Each structure stands twice: as structure tokens, then as C-alpha cells.
Structure 1
Amino acid sequence: MSNEATPAAQPSTGTQQAPGNIASFIDHTLLKPEASEAEILKVCAEAAEYRFKSVCVNPVWVKTVKKALKGSGVLTCSVVGFPLGATPTDVKTFEARGAVLDGADEVDMVINIAAARAGDKGALVEDITAVAEAVHASDAILKVIIETALLDDAQKVLACEAAVEAGADFVKTSTGFNGGGATVEDIALMRRTVGPDLGVKASGGVRSLADAQAMIAAGATRIGASSGIAIVKGEQGSSGY
């Protein structure tokens, strides 16, 4: 699925992507609720300079980011049902539709975490499918945040299976807001569950080049991080997301 005209802006999902340029794996992220317009524009300028894959922001900033990134080849990413996932499906769908209409090339949605913990795969599939249909109608990409820190391994597998069944493009570890983030073990489990063709995004706590490389080796094809510059420079980033 393509959502940009130039090859540099093509969204990627599965394991066919090789870790040659670490910047091309990174969703440069600023999701703090207090983020200012100046901070958002700074992140956009950094993403264009370092050639990150996308800039990921809250929905209120999508139009600003899309305009700032025009012509850069960097994608615009937003979040839905974030960070709790505890909104009704029709609300998530409305939010997703608005994000893509505002210019989002990619949408990262949070699942119904309670449904995953209860083992209710049907509810998960229904929730994800509705959002996927709204996102794909605009040729955008859907990533599904399963919030691994709140699930046991069986629940993680269930959530990943639901994402595959619902037609998602990626599964993603974490919001970064609910305790704990990506681990190599979780990435490996998610990759085994979804197979070779779906994207796997590691997010939350990836703050160094070594962290990012470990996630990629375990099967990640995207890295969500607020420390993207430190990662590409081989430095240690600060905490946060």
C-alpha cells in the first residue's frame, strides 16, 4: 500500500526491510500533551534533516506537521484512542477518519486493553477492523498498539492475532504512557505471532543505537522514539516518549 508518490516516502511493514540506515526505521515522536507548536515544528525540522521515517504527534497537530513536512519525504503519523484505548470503537473510528483527512499517512491506535486481558478476541477484531477500514479508505497505514506492559504473553499473542485478522499493517508494543516499554522478548514474540509480512513497531524506552539495533535484530521494522537524534548519533537519549 502506498501513501506517497516518491519512493522515499513509501510506508514499509515486513521484515524485507534491512537495517542499513537506522533513521529510516524511526518515527520521531512528540506525544506529550503540553507540547507547544514551536516544539512540534522543531521535531519536524529534525525529522527532515535526519530523514526519519515519520513524525508522530497527537491529532491536534496533524495539519501543522503535514504542512511542515511537505516535500521532505517524511510521513505524518498520528494516534487514536491514545493513550488508554478505552474509548468506544465508533469514537476511535471518527478520530481516525479525522486524522487521515487532516493529512496523516499513518495512524497508531490503542486496542481495548480490557478486552485483551479478558481474552475477548472478537471484541478486539471488531474494534481494530472498524479503525482499519477508516484508515485504509484513505490509503493510510494502521499500526495497532497492544500495550505489552499490561498483558501477559498469552494476551499479547491474542492481541497480535486479532490485529492480523482485522487487517492491520503493524503491531506496536507500547504507548510509552502506561508503564514499561518495548523489550527484545516482546518484539520476538510479536514477530513470531504475526509472521514475516506484518510490521512490528518497538516503542517506549528505545533511547540508544544499541537499543534500536537489538529491537531490529529481534524483528522490529519500525522504532518509535523521542530520542531519534541520539539514536542515529550513537548517543544515549533521555527518558520520555
Structure 2
Amino acid sequence: MTPQQLDHFARMIDHTNLHADASAADMKKLCAEAKQYHFKMVAINESQTQRCAEYLAGTDIDVGAAISFPLGQTTIAAKVFETEDAIKNGATEIDYVVNLTEVKNGNYAYIKSEMTQMVTCCHQHQLPCKVIFENCYLTKDEIRQLALIAKEVQPDFIKTSTGFGTGGATIADVQLMKQTVGAAVKVKAAGGIRSATDFLAMIDAGAERIGTSAGVQIIESLKKQA
């Protein structure tokens, strides 16, 4: 595999550490690895935004703040406020979790309003917005309904999982999400993607961004492939 091909794959990775007990040293290590491997983004909890923005200053690596993470159980106003705060502190991408209670209530008007306000907030700052579905708690019809809303509202990405639920990304869910949104919205797969085989399978299924804490191992494995 050529250096150009490896860099192409590295630029599809959101290098992730969202653990509650992640220290400043852990964040410094995450950012150093992101610089070494030229990953697209570091995915971190919102409170780590300023620290990572400082570590990554002067690079083309984005700082991705996770909003209302991992449960999504905050109000729309709280999510917008947290987003504005993250952006003020240096975030250059936003991943937020939908309100799953309202999905289960069938309150798709609420979900559309939430998504619209979050996307508007991000796009006013010319920043991408990713919507986390947390598919392990959803039926296929609920996934489809969320994707249809996204097709209309047009966030930059819809995302399979937080990695903190009862399950992560699956090939079937990535395919369903991509088939539903078509070219209007990109798909990010996250949760349980730890090998080069899984990584390439998700891309083949339609994912254009991969969230993983195993990015270093994946790229090192790809280096060894012919």
C-alpha cells in the first residue's frame, strides 16, 4: 500500500478517546498520535476541547467535541449552548447524540427541530455537524426515519453509535443509513471497529468516516498489506 493510500485512509479516521477518566496526558498522547498518523480528527469529550485545540494548534487535524454524550438526554437549548461553548473553546467539528426518548415516543417533529437547530448552529460557524443515532437501541424503521429526517435537514454526517451503548456499528446499519440518505449526507461508522478488516468493510458498506480508538493499530496493519 502506497503512502498516499495510507494517508487517504488515515484521513477517514476520527481518533477517539471519550473515556470519563481520560487525563491530560491521555489527551496529549491522543493528539500526538493524530499528528503522527495524520488522522482527520480527535474525538473527545467537550470539556477537553480547549486542551486538544492547544495541542493541535497549527495542524490540519480537527478537534471534534462530543455533545450531550453519550446519552443525548439534554434539552435542545442545552445542546446548542454546549455546542457554542465547544466552538468558543476551539472545536472544529461537532458530534451530538439525538434524544432517544423522543425517538421512542415517535416524536419526530422534536427530532427534526433538534437536528435543524444543531445543524444551523454548526453551519453558522462553517463547521460540520454529525448526528449520532445510537442504533443499538433503535429498530430498523427508527433508523430509517432518522435518516429520512437527516436527508431533509442535511447534517454533514449521520453516525451509527457512541461506542458506549450495548452495541456498535454493523455493516447492515451502515448500508441502511447510506441507502436512505443517498448522496445528501455522509455516514460515519463508530463503535467496535478495531481491525483493518472491520475498517475496510465499513468503508465498503458506505461509511466515509470511521470513529475508532484503534486507529494506530488499523493503519499499522494496513501498512503491512500489499
Task: Specify which of 112, 115, 128 is matched with residue 141 of structure 1.
Answer: 128
1:61 aligns with: 48
1:214 aligns with 2:193: no
Q: Is 1:174–2:174 an aligned residue pair?
A: no
Once the two structures are superposed, residues 155-184 of structure 1 have per-residue CA deviations (whole angstroms, 9 ceiling, x without a partner) of 001111222322311100001111100001
Letter matched to residue 112 of structure 2? V
Q: Distance in 2 between matches of 1:121 and 1:19?
A: 40
Deviation at 1:119, TM superposition (A): 2.4
Alignment-derived partner of residue 27 in structure 2:
40
Q: 2:84 aligns with which of 86, 97, 108?
A: 97
Does structure 1 conserve the Cα–Cα contact (< 8 Å) formed by 2:6 and 2:219? no
Are residues 1:122 and 2:109 paired? yes
Q: CA deviation at 1:20?
A: 7.1
Q: TM-score, normalised by structure 1?
A: 0.87
SS in 2 for 1:21: helix
- Counterpart residue identity of residue 88, structure 2: L
What is the aligned-residue identity percentage? 39
Aligned residues: 218
Provide the rounded CA distance (Å) in 1 between the counterparts of 2:71 and 2:150.
Answer: 17
- The one-letter code of the counterpart of 1:87 is T
Match of 2:98 in 1: 111
Do 1:126 and 1:166's aligned partners in 2 also have CA atoms closer than 8 Å?
no
Structure 2 residue runs without a partner (length 5+) = none
Moved over 3 A (4+): none
Q: Residue deviations 1:90-134, cap 9 Å, x none?
A: 000100111111111110000011222232221110111111111
Say whether the 8 Å CA contact 1:19–1:216 is kept in structure 2: no
SS at match of 2:58: coil
* 142-151 vs 154-163, which moves further: 154-163
1:160-218 deviation per Cα after TM superposition (whole angstroms, max 9, x unaligned): 12223223111000011111000011000000011124110000000011001000000
Residue 100 of structure 2 aligns to which amino acid in structure 1?
A: I
The Cα RMSD (Å) is: 1.5
Gaps of 5+ in 1: 1-17, 236-241
Asked whether 1:232 is paired with 2:219, we answer yes
